[in-house]
Amino acid sequence: MKKSQRFSLLEAVISTVIGMVVTFFAQVIFFPIFGIEATIIDIGWVTIIFTVLSILKNFVIRRWFHKIYKKSKENGKKKENFVH
pLDDT digits (tens, 9 = 90+) for 22-77: 999 999 999 999 999 999 999 999 999 999 999 899 889 988 998 898 888 888 77
Whole-model pTM above 0.85? no
Task: Report the distance separating Cα 16 and Cα 51, nearest Å.
Answer: 7
Q: Cα separation of 38 and 42, whole Å?
A: 6
pLDDT confidence band for 79 (50 / 70 / 90): low
| Nearest one of 13, 12, 24, 22 to 48, comparing CA atoms | 24
pLDDT surpassing 80 at residue 78: no
